[in-house]
Structure formats: structure tokens, C-alpha cells
Amino acid sequence: MEAVIAGFSAALTPSNVAFVALGVLLGYVVGVLPGFNRPTALALAVPLTFYMGPVSGISFLIGISKGSATGGAVSAILLNTPGEASSAATCLDGYPLARKGRARSALLIALVASVFGDIFATLVLIALAQPLSRVALLIGPVEICAVLLFALTFIASLSGESLLKGLISGFLGILLGTVGLDAETGTPRFTFGQAELFDGLPLMVIAIGLLALSEMVVQMEERGQLQSTPLAAGGDRLRMDEIKACMPVILRSSLLGTVLGVIPGLGASVASFLAYSWVRSTSSTPERFGQGALEGVAAAEAADNAVVPAGLIPLFALGIPGGIAAALIIGAFMIHGITPGPLMFLNHAHVLNAIYASMLLAGVLMFVFGYFGSGLFARLAQLPLSVIVATVVFLCIVGAYIEGGTMFGVYLVLGFAVLGWLLRKFDFSYVTFLIGFVLTPTLELSLRQALILTDRNPYSLLRHPIALAILAVTVLAVWRMASRRRDVTRLATS
């Protein structure tokens, strides 16, 4: 308790509060703008932290990470353009809400879920970093592979009307997820000699094309009827009972985001899509999803934001860099002569406590900025649709150019806009497509790692009880879904 108070007193100095606020604000703006992503913002910010104290420096960087995770929802909801790749899942219900005139409600529920997910995971980090990081070490490629196989079964439950169509677009996503150099042999696959494709298709560009740009094409087809979004009857207010109804979803998704965040290498995109799929497939009214369900937004955002602090658990406790953002934060620690890892808890406990306090402060500041931001941004939804379409098309092209690095990104985004338009026209699910695409690279890598590590011997799975349990659940889930579907068809035919 004393440590906590000491941490807060170190964190609540005016200069530290200012740096945390600056970080969150910067991250929020970066998150809102498609084309500027978190790693870039962090890389640019790291040199600035050289001149700050360790607490301010690290908190500044963490503030950017947190702020960008929150900000990503804004453009996802208002423009169907994910500001960060991980907010692509937020588009699925956020944008339909905005079209219904409930932009502000969608932004607010996203904010509530973000802040809750963030603070939840931060508290888990503070309380359980060391024991949880040891659990994370038990999760190897075999277990990750099992989790992702289980996740693939969501494709079936998210297919909507036609299972066949859902599977077709899911497999199309999987197929496109295999583009790039083979992880094991370095052999180019479906790259057509284009070096831009060696590292695979960029998720961000695909999400922009598939979700935002194709939607704009659909809007433009209804020429002559372009009009601004109507205000919801009686104005758009997020009611208390709606927040209450979303709370179980937010809690579940925060938990899922925290668990997935602790495992190095899974990332926020996988987590937000899984949370969305989980909530949608277990809902008693799954047909509302995709049409503007507040729960859908809440699930994606809570998980997305929980990943950020949870990802710091292996970093703080063991010095494991989960990804490029974590590697940059390690660098910032090193500048100040602190090495992340078990010893940090002994030798630099006071710094760590102050960082924890700053992280909680960042959560609160996220809410403040987000609250005012959403009031401001929600008005954008009332702009004439002709203005919105033009702006979004512009943002899509610029974002794709920056993300893709070259004109190649622009060609890709146009190509995927066409694909997205076709999927919509012929009623194929782009949700299952995205899930297939998001999961495949990690699934393939972990599968091939698992095959090597187990010597391709199925009996060695016995040494991986966690993986076995998840695989059993997977089989059960498939069986249940199949039998449920049989029932549905039987009912339909009788």
C-alpha cells in the first residue's frame, strides 16, 4: 500500500502528468488518423524520451500506445476506416451504428469499453505480472496453434445465412493470408515476383479497401439519395441500461484481451477479432450483429485496449519483447539504465510503481480526452454524405499509400475495394474473410513451429495438456455447431 502511495506521489508531479497527457493525446490523434500507426509514433517519440526522466519517458510511450488503441475506434465508427489495424473489428458494428444516427453512442460505448479494458488489464499487470508471466512461458507454439484452430471455428458461427458462402469467403481469407515468403524455406508464394508481397499482404490496407472504400462505392451507387445521417429519434443518447447491458460483454472481452495479450506474438488484431466473434456467436440475438449492435463495438474495443497493458506483462516480468512496440519500450528503459526483467522488480521498484500509477492516470486521461473528442467527432457524422464519401475516399488512398509505402498500397486498396464490393453484392461475409486472413499468418507459423518441436509425432501432444484441452473444446464446438445446424435445417424443411 505504501508502495502504491509512493508510486502515485512520484507520478502526480505536474511535469509527469503533462507528459502522460501529451502521450495519450498524441496517441489518440495517431489512432484517429489511418496511415499513422502506433509503431511509427513510438519510433518517432523514443528519441524525445532521452531527455525525460525514466518514469515520464516510459509513461509517455505507454500513453501513446494506449491513446492510439482508443483513438483507432473513432475513424472505425465514423468512417468505416480503421485508424489502427486492430480496430478493424470495431468497424463491423460501429459504422452501422453511425449510419443509424447513433454515432455518439457508438463512440461512447467504445470509449467506456476501451477505458475499462485498459484499466482492467493495467490492474492485472500491477497485481499479477510475475505469476502470469510464468504462465505465459507455458504457452508455446503448440498451445497457440490450438487456440487459433479453435478460433477458426468461429467462421462457421459467423457465416450468417449460408454456411457455404461463409466458408468460401473464410477460405479466401486464409488463402490470401498465405501470400509471402514461406517461413521455413523462404520460397515466395503467390508473390508474382513483387517484392512488396514478400512479407505478405498488409492487414491495414486490406481492411481499408474491404471495409471503407467498398462501402463508399456502395453509398455512391445510391446516387441522388445521398443525404446526411439522420439523428436518432429524440436525439442520440447512450442510455444507462444500454451500458449496463454491455457490461458482461466488456468484462468478458477485457479478460480475453488480457489473456491473449500476455501471450507474446498474438497481438491486438487477433484479440479484437476473437472477442468480437466470441460475443457474436454466443449472443442470444446474433442477427443484430453487423447491423449496429453496441455489444459488437464494446467487445472489439475492450479486447483491443486490454492487449496494450497485458502485452507489458511478459516485458516487465521477463524482458520478453512481444513485438516491435515492446522492443522500443525496452530500448527506452535501457537508455535510463534499467533492464526490464525480474531484477527490475527488486532494483527499480520505485520507478516501476510510478510507471504503474502513470498507467492508471493514462487510463483516466483517455476517458477525459475521449469524452470530449467523441462529442466533437460525432458531429462529423452529420456532415452531408457527399462530403463524407469524398473525405473517406481521400483518407483511404492516402492511408494506403503511407501504410503500403509505395503506389503498390494504393493499387492493393483499390483491388480490395472491388473484392469487398463483390462480397457485399453477392452476400458473402467479409467478417469471415477478415477472420481467416487475420488468423492465418500466426496460425501457420505456430503450426509449423509446433510440427518441428514435436518431431511431427502426434503422441508428443501428450506433453501439452493445455493444447489437448483446447483441441478437445474445438472438436466439441464443431460437433455442437454441426448438430445445431442440422436441427435448423430439419426445422426449416419440416
Residue type, 134: R
Contacts of 154 (CB under 8 A, 6+ apart): 274, 277, 278, 281, 435
User: Is 440 within 8 Å of 149 (Cβ atoms)?
Assistant: no
Q: Which of 42, 85, 378, 439 binds other proteins (CB under 8 A)?
A: 42
62-81 positions binding other proteins, by CB under 8 A: none
* Phi (first) and psi of residue 180, to 5 degrees: 125, -175
Closer residue to other proteins in complex, CB, 4/334: 334
Closer residue to other proteins in complex, CB, 13/449: 449
Closer residue to other proteins in complex, CB, 290/331: 331
CA–CA distance, 343 with 326 (Å, rounded to integer): 18
* Alpha-carbon distances of 206 from 166, 235, 400, rounded to whole Å: 18, 35, 9
DSSP letter string over 238-262?
A: --HHHHHHHHHHHHHHHHHHHHHHH
**What are residue 189's DSSP bridge partners?**
180
324 near other proteins (CB under 8 A): yes
> How many CA atoms does the CB half-sphere of 392 hold within 13 Å?
30
CA–CA distance, 54 with 392 (Å, rounded to integer): 40
Stretch that binds other proteins, among 167-175, 178-186, 273-281, 364-372 (CB under 8 A): 178-186
331 near other proteins (CB under 8 A): yes
Q: Which of 156, 168, 328, 365 binds other proteins (CB under 8 A)?
A: 328
337 near other proteins (CB under 8 A): yes
343 near other proteins (CB under 8 A): yes
Q: Which of 160, 286, 290, 342 binds other proteins (CB under 8 A)?
A: 342
404-433 positions binding other proteins, by CB under 8 A: 405-406
Q: Which of 191, 228, 382, 386 binds other proteins (CB under 8 A)?
A: 191
Q: Is 189 helix (H, G, I), strand (E, B) or coil?
A: strand
Closer residue to other proteins in complex, CB, 175/324: 324
* Alpha-carbon distances of 366 from 29, 41, 163, 236, 274, rounded to whole Å: 12, 17, 40, 22, 24
466 near other proteins (CB under 8 A): no
Binding interface with other proteins (CB under 8 A): 39-40, 42-44, 46-47, 50-51, 136-137, 140-141, 181, 183-188, 191, 193, 195-196, 198-199, 264-265, 314, 318-328, 330-331, 333-337, 339-344, 405-406, 445, 448-449, 452-453
